[in-house]
Amino acid sequence: MTTSSLPNSLSTVELKPSYNIPVVLVLTAIPLILVQPWLGGILAILGLFLMLQAVTLKFQFTATDFDIYREEKLIRRFPYQEWQNWRIFWTRVPILFYFKEINSIHFLPILFDPNTLKSCLEQRCPRI
């Protein structure tokens, strides 16, 4: 398996993790706990959960599929041929990645490098 920082339709590109969303959630939760303990606690738990996901999940673009691994185990494969559309929400501060397959819709928080994500998507599965 080849890992590259530049997208290439023949190589596998593994997205680097991004901890922006989890860190912002946890930092926002700290003062919020003083004012609204339940809401602050929920926000902190969500931030810590997303931090764990960013550490343990690997997102890879292969020549034919978008794969999600937990450590070394493949947990989900999304073949590009089944994709109908994709979008990154809030491009200035990307926080959510959406893609639609023939039979399902998926929303993923941006827990990986959004620039590499966008370039891989544009190259491997152009929008309809």
- List beta partners, residue 106: 99
Distances in whole angstroms, Cα of residue 8 to Cα of each of 3, 14, 85, 116, 121? 10, 12, 20, 11, 11
pTM over 0.85: no
What is the per-residue pLDDT across 73-91, written as a single tens digit (0 to 9) for each? 999 999 999 999 999 998 7
DSSP 49-112: HHHHHHHHEEEEE-SSEEEEEETTEEEEEEEGGGEEEEEEESTTS--EEEEEESS-EEEEE--B
- List beta partners, residue 69: 58, 74
- What's the CATH fold of domain 13-124? PH-domain like (2.30.29)
Which pair of tokens denotes residue 125? 């599965």
pLDDT value at residue 125? 86
Burial of 53 (0-12, 13-18, 19+ CB in 10 A): middle
What is the per-residue pLDDT across 3-52, written as a single tens digit (0 to 9) for each? 444 444 468 999 999 999 999 999 999 999 999 999 999 999 999 999 99
- List beta partners, residue 60: 14, 67
